[in-house]
Structure 1
């Protein structure tokens, strides 16, 4: 049982280390992107973010200009693409609910929609 606990803990530590590395890369890329968007004005960006300019530049340094540009293009493409509305999944009760029986009274007739008539 103790060995299983050690293995589980070790696997969790490995997953956490991988997640930390991914987060570090994302943070470095974000720093490089924001600097590129603000024409590499580290002092301005540092003031906006409330961090030191040296720290910001140190974070951004390992990221190439090409990678920063690629991230910017991805963000722009994502911003331009309209989001699709998502429907909430139906519960089992909603799917299994019987439909309402048709009533004996006819539906009232309505006047044609003016907007549709104009379009035709």
Structure 2
């Protein structure tokens, strides 16, 4: 039982380490992309994101310009693609639902805020 727990814990640690490494790569790439999009103006990006400029530059440094450009092109292509639409059921307003449930028509409010009979 202890061996199984140790094995499970080890597998979880390996998965967590891999996830952290992937997140670190994504963070470095994101920093490089944002800096590239803002013409490497680290001070401006620093103010926008609330992250020290030195940290942004340090994060972005290992990412090549080619990789940053590749990511930007992929994001642009994704933004240009039409989004798939799903058929949606028409929504009923709460007022419509309440009036249909009670059997009485809903009151109509006119421009002078007085109530008029909808029937």
TM over 0.5: yes
Deviations 1:51-79 (A, max 9, x none): 11000000000000000000000000000
* Matched residues, number: 88
State the partner residue of 1:4.
Answer: 4
What 5-or-longer segments of structure 2 have no aligned partner?
89-119
Query: What does residue range 1-120 of structure 1 map to in structure 2 within 5 Å?
Result: 1-86=1-86
Query: Unpaired runs of 5+ in structure 1?
Result: 89-120
Q: Following TM superposition, by how much is the alpha carbon of 1:86 offset from its aligned partner in structure 2, in angstroms?
A: 4.0
Give the TM-score of the pair, scaled to structure 2.
0.72
Residues 53 and 10 of structure 1: is their aligned pair in 2 closer, same or farther, counting only changes over 3 Å? same
Distance 2:69 2:86 in 1: 31
- TM-score, normalised relative to structure 1: 0.71
Bigger relative contact order (CA 8 A; separation at least 6): 1
Please give the root-mean-square deviation of Cα atoms over the aligned residues, in Å: 1.2
Structure 1 consecutive aligned stretches of length 4 or more whose deviation exceeds 4 Å: none
Distance in 2 between residues matched to 1:51 and 1:44, nearest whole Å = 10
